[in-house]
Amino acid sequence: MKVAITSLALLAVCAGQALAQQASAGFRAADLNDDGVVTRAEYDSALNEGFARVDTDRDGQFSLAERLAVGGGPAGGGAPDPDANADGVVTRAEYDAFHGARFIRLDLNRDGRLLASESSGAPR
C-alpha cells in the first residue's frame, strides 16, 4: 500500500512539473516582445494563432478530429473544455469566450497583463 501511495505521489509531482514546463513554454511563446509580461493584445494574438492552427479546414470552428490531428487531445480528467454547448465542435465564439474568461482568471491583480508569477500559462 505504501508503495502505491508513494508511486502516486511521485506521478503527481512529475505531472505537476510537466504542466509547469508546458505553462512556462506557453507563456514565453505568448510574450511576443520578450519583456516578461503578456499583455491582452499578446494573449489575443496567441489565441488567433492557436485557433488557426487547430481549425485545419478553415470553417471557423474545430472538431475533436481536428484537435487530435494537430497533436491536441480531448479535454478530460476534469480539464475545462471550450466546447460550451458540448456539441462536439468549438466555434470561434466559444473559443474566444473561454480564453477571455481564462485571461481574467489568470490576471490576479487585474492590471490587464499577465506576469509569469501570476499565470499558470498562456493560450494553448
- Residue 35's domain is classified under what CATH number? 1.10.238.10
Question: Hey, which residues does 84 pair with through a beta bridge?
Answer: none
- pLDDT tens track for 35-78: 999 999 999 999 999 999 999 999 999 998 998 888 877 765 55
3-state SS track over 73-124: CCCCCCCCCCCCCCCCEEEHHHHHHHHHHHHHHHCCCCCCEEECCCCCCCCC
- 122 is a domain residue: no
In which domain, by residue range, is 69 found?
A: 2-115
pLDDT at 24 over 80: no
pLDDT at 104: 93
Residue 60 lies inside a defined structural domain of this protein: yes
Domain count, the chain: 1
Is there a domain that residue 120 lies in? no
Q: Is residue 44 part of a domain?
A: yes
pTM: 0.69
Residue 6 domain-assigned (yes or no): yes
pLDDT of residue 119: 56
DSSP state of 60: S
Q: Is residue 93 part of a domain?
A: yes
Inside any domain, residue 123: no
Under the banding of pLDDT at 50, 70 and 90, the label for residue 117 is: confident
